[in-house]
Structure formats: structure tokens, C-alpha cells
Amino acid sequence: MKKFLILALMISVFAASCAVRDIDPISKDSKLAVEAFALAETIREAYIRNDMVTIEKNTTRAGFRTISDVIRDFDSAELTFNPVLVKIEGDIIHLQLLWAGTWQKDGKTTEEMGRTVFILKDRPLKLDSILRTNPFKYPE
């Protein structure tokens, strides 16, 4: 009888631990951060494919000029973004990224890395400005 009670108690404790718990809803700031990361990744992929239409669609006029005025021709490129910090100030988001890139042009390889801040605004989010090192200006 003791074994049965111990087994029943263990089963009930296990069942209680597996019970569905309330999950906190995702905060607005968290959703904005995820959207900011996705936007940066979309622009990065478009840059590698040299897809200026997608870049223009995901930037403001000033943001598009920030990229298109410095962009250089390349044969191939690899570019990675690692998010560091998201700072939300009202309607403006500062997305701080570490980036590393390798560009091939006419048989020459250029490797660079740096830290940048993407200024995002509007709804849906769009890139408005790039502070610090612009990862889209290579190869120089």
C-alpha cells in the first residue's frame, strides 16, 4: 500500500510540474527589437544580392542615400551582422551592430569589420541613417 501511495504521489507531482503555465505576453519593445533585427538582415541580404529595389523599399529617402552614395561595385561579398544593443527612444530605434565583411573585386579580397548604429524609424520600420562605420562602403 505504501508503494502505491508513493507512486501515486510521484505521478501527481510529475503531472503538476508538466501543467500549462501562464506565459507572459511579448512586450512591445521586444517586438520592435525583433522587427529591427529582421530589417537589418533584409537589408544585408539585399546588399549582397545587389538588390537596390529591396534596399530602397526598406529605407527612407535619407537612408537610401546613405547606402547608395557609398556603395561600391564588387564581384562577391559576405557580410555578417551581430546585434549588440537596441535602444528605443519614442518612435526612433538605435540598433547597434558589430559587422564583418569580405569582398571580392577583380581577384582582390578586402576584409573589414566594425561597429555601426542603424537609426530606424516609421511604421513599418525603415532604415533612416547609419552612424559610425558604414558597412556598405566597401571595398574601398
Q: What is the pLDDT of residue 118?
A: 98
CA distance 119 to 128: 6
CATH of domain 27-137: 3.10.450.50
Query: In the predicted model, what is the mean pLDDT of residues 130-139?
Result: 94
Give this prediction's pTM. 0.81
At 134 the three-state DSSP class reads coil
Compute the radius of gyration of the chain from its Cα atoms.
23
Over the stretch 12-39, which tens digit does the pLDDT of each residue have? 666 666 656 667 788 888 899 999 999 9
Q: What is the pLDDT of residue 9?
A: 57
Over the stretch 60-111, which tens digit does the pLDDT of each residue have? 999 999 999 999 999 999 999 999 999 999 899 999 999 999 999 999 999 9
